[in-house]
């Protein structure tokens, strides 16, 4: 068991407080930096993809996990970011400008959706965002002059200040740096005034309002931040897939993102990344076990979606706090070693209370 003994305000502000944390994160950093040389090529590409999905999952986490606004349609923002970036690149915009503009455009779309969407909450918001994602997919399919319709749009190479980063290793590092930057920005945003306001809005709008928090404003802000981060991820994803089509940003991707934040554990950035890694790895893992199954089952696409469902169901039923919750439990077990009791995290018995009359 560890008791914090702070001697200055700076102690409480530090992100890595203990030597063990510093060591663990340093080891992780070294592993990630060395990974492109240690792993086979296929896995480097997979890891790059996981980094990008982790960024998107972080974006959704700001909205769903911190502000409590359910969105079942976040693939729409990835799509907007990806298409804006690809189109700007094809018009000859430099990469840094293009990705900044793509992020900004996605944020703008987030604002446009957020302004009306905050009028509804809960299930209704889930339905609005779901419908919005389907609309965006159709718009991208029909707006042929810009998006190339269902044939899709080729994506230019990422060239930053004259250096072409489309190679496997260089793009890996680009994605890694992007992820680290996103985490750094969000971690500070979420422990600052903005993030605390988000959590306040999530836990009780009435209480937040009575504390002087502008509830509507912060809800829209959460939408904007979330859309911007997802747009950024979308732009990177465009480079990863090299040729974007509207089907690449379908409902399944939206739901995968929701799976990532739910399985990761709502309300934690670590959870968003863990969830993205778990869900992002499922297709690759399934292609590994496919040879073990019968031919008839193995060639169906249904296996993947079945496992998504199974994993999600297991987490909702047995670990509603997600991977992050499990991580905290394991940590508590070792921190308090001989004293850990099973009931520390026990859930109470619950009855259904109507949310309709709330």
Partner 1 sequence: MPPEIIANLQLALNGMATGAIYALVALGLVITYKATEVLNFAHGDVLMASAFVAWGLIVGLGLPFWLAALLTVAFAAVLSWQIDARIMRRIVGQPQFAGVMLTIAIAFMLRGLVSMFFGPESRSYPTPWTQQSTHIGPVVVSDLNLVILAVALLLTALIYVFLRRTALGVSIQAASQNQLAAYLSGIRVKRVTSLVWALAGAVSGACGLLLAPIALVDISLWIVVLKALAALVLGGFGSIPGAILGGLLLGLIEQFAGVYLPDGSKDVAAYVVLIATLVLWPRGLLGEAHGRRV
Query: Shortest approach of partner 1 to residue 114 CB, angstroms?
Result: 11
Q: 46 or 304: whose CB is closer to partner 1?
A: 304
Query: Shortest approach of partner 1 to residue 100 CB, angstroms?
Result: 29
Interaction site with partner 1 (CB under 8 A): 70, 116-117, 119-120, 122-124, 126-128, 130-132, 134-135, 138, 141-142, 206, 255, 258, 262, 296-297, 300-310, 312-313, 316-317, 320, 349-358
161 DSSP assignment: T
Give the separation between CA 321 and CA 315, rounded to whole angstroms: 8
Q: In which residue are the tokens 């899709």 written? A: 152
Query: Shortest approach of partner 1 to residue 191 CB, angstroms?
Result: 24
Q: 65 or 156: whose CB is closer to partner 1?
A: 65
Q: Which distant-in-sequence residues (6+ apart) come within 8 Å of 66 by Cβ? A: 190, 195, 198, 199, 202, 222, 267
Q: 108 or 120: whose CB is closer to partner 1?
A: 120
Give the separation between CA 157 and CA 42, rounded to whole angstroms: 20
Query: Shortest approach of partner 1 to residue 6 CB, angstroms?
Result: 35
> Helix or strand or coil: residue 244?
strand
Q: Are 80 and 109 in contact (CB under 8 A)?
A: yes
| CA distances to 58, 210, 329, 339 from 216, in Å | 22, 13, 35, 45
Q: 154 or 309: whose CB is closer to partner 1?
A: 309
Give the separation between CA 153 and CA 56, rounded to whole angstroms: 21
Taking alpha carbons only, the member of 27, 56, 44, 43 closest to residue 172 is 44
Query: Shortest approach of partner 1 to residue 58 CB, angstroms?
Result: 19
Query: Shortest approach of partner 1 to residue 42 CB, angstroms?
Result: 25
Q: Quick one: tokens of 181?
A: 């930057």
Please, which residues bridge with residue 243 across strands?
154
**163 membership: H or E segment, kind and range:** strand 163-164
Q: 18 or 345: whose CB is closer to partner 1?
A: 345
Q: Quick one: tokens of 302?
A: 């249904």
Query: Shortest approach of partner 1 to residue 65 CB, angstroms?
Result: 11
The phi, psi pair for 153, rounded to 5°, reads -135, 130
Taking alpha carbons only, the member of 170, 145, 152 closest to residue 160 is 170
Query: Shortest approach of partner 1 to residue 263 CB, angstroms?
Result: 9
The phi, psi pair for 159, rounded to 5°, reads -115, 110
């Amino acid at each position: 068991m560890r008791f914090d003994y702070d001697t200055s305000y700076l102690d409480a502000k530090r992100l890595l407080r203990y030597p063990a944390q510093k060591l663990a994160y340093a080891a992780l950093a070294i592993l990630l930096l060395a990974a492109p040389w240690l792993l086979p090529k296929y896995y480097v590409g997979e890891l790059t993809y996981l980094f990008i999905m982790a960024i998107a999952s972080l974006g959704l986490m700001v909205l769903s996990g911190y502000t409590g606004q359910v969105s079942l349609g976040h693939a729409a923002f990835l799509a907007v970011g990806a298409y804006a970036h690809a189109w700007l690149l094809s018009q000859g915009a430099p990469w840094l400008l293009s990705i900044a503009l793509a992020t900004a455009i996605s944020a703008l779309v987030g604002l446009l959706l957020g302004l009306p969407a905050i009028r509804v909450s809960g299930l209704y918001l889930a339905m609005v965002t779901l419908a919005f994602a389907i609309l965006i997919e159709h718009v991208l399919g029909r707006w042929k002059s810009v998006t190339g319709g269902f044939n899709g749009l080729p994506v230019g190479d990422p060239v930053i200040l004259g250096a072409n980063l489309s190679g496997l290793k260089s793009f890996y590092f680009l994605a890694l740096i992007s992820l680290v930057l996103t985490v750094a920005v969000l971690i500070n945003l979420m422990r600052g005034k903005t993030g605390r306001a988000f959590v306040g809005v999530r836990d009780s709008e009435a209480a937040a309002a009575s504390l002087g928090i502008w509830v509507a404003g912060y809800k829209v802000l959460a939408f904007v931040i979330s859309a911007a981060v997802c747009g950024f991820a979308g732009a990177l994803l465009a480079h990863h897939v090299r040729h974007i089509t509207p089907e690449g940003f379908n409902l399944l991707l939206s739901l995968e993102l929701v799976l990532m934040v739910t399985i990761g554990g709502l309300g934690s950035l670590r959870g968003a990344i863990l969830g993205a890694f778990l869900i992002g790895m499922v297709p690759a893992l399934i292609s590994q076990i496919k040879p073990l199954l019968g031919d008839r089952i193995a060639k169906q696409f249904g296996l993947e979606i079945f496992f998504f469902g199974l994993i999600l169901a297991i987490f909702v039923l047995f670990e509603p706090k997600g991977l992050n919750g499990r991580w905290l439990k394991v940590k508590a077990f070792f921190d308090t070693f001989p004293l850990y009791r099973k009931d520390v995290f026990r859930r109470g018995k619950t009855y259904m209370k109507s949310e309709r009359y709330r």
